[in-house]
Structure 1
């Protein structure tokens, strides 16, 4: 089986396709922006990477969202709910975690079908 990698760097690839499945690295927005803006930016990156891989958000199977503070859950959800394809919403989990830097407030990880 072939493996195709997108935006590959020395540490990781932003997307990997294998056996009809697309795996995205965690997507974040601009450090220091508010959680709604970071969520919008992260979801725009998801859209861009899925397009590069040859699929789109209607094919997302699973999403994992990490928030630096669960108090931001409603603000993140407001952005997610406008973005998520109604009728094609994925399985999703959201939790709280320390992210790579304190200025990151949200990280979005998805797995999608081609």
Structure 2
């Protein structure tokens, strides 16, 4: 059983690979002052970059959990999400309202993906 940890910190690793499955830590927006559209776009760009760095892509996402500060943001976040998800590659997904770690954060995502073969 092989476990690879990437960008390891004191509290967490940004990505962990086990048996060809990649687990990403929660990703948040680059610009925490942006609206939900801007935060969702930069959050998903970070997911793209992190997946690429460990040999995967958005086409290989198996599951995603989206955390919203307020469910009133659901429709606007989904507008960005729907444009980002490749056709025919929608992962299993849950979306929940959650108290965020920082008050300016509107959205966070946790992703599980497959390693590209």
Counterpart in 1 of 2:69? Answer: 68
Counterpart in 2 of 1:78? Answer: 79
TM-score (norm 2): 0.94
SS of 2:28's equivalent in the other structure is coil
CA apart distance, 1:85:
0.9
Counterpart in 2 of 1:95? Answer: 96
Q: Structure 1 residues 2-11 or 37-46, which shifts more?
A: 2-11
TM-score (norm 1): 0.96
Root-mean-square deviation (CA), in Å? 0.8
CA apart distance, 1:2:
1.8
Q: 1:18-33 maps to which residues of 2 (within 5 A)?
A: 18-29=18-29, 30-33=31-34
Whole-angstrom CA distance in 2 between matches of 1:8 and 1:35: 29
Whole-angstrom CA distance in 1 between matches of 2:50 and 2:5: 11
CA apart distance, 1:6:
1.6
Counterpart in 1 of 2:47? Answer: 46
Counterpart in 1 of 2:16? Answer: 16
CA apart distance, 1:63:
0.5
CA apart distance, 1:96:
0.2
Residue deviations 1:21-79, cap 9 Å, x none?
A: 00001100022211111111110111111111101111100000000010000110010
CA apart distance, 1:82:
0.7
Whole-angstrom CA distance in 2 between matches of 1:55 and 1:101: 29
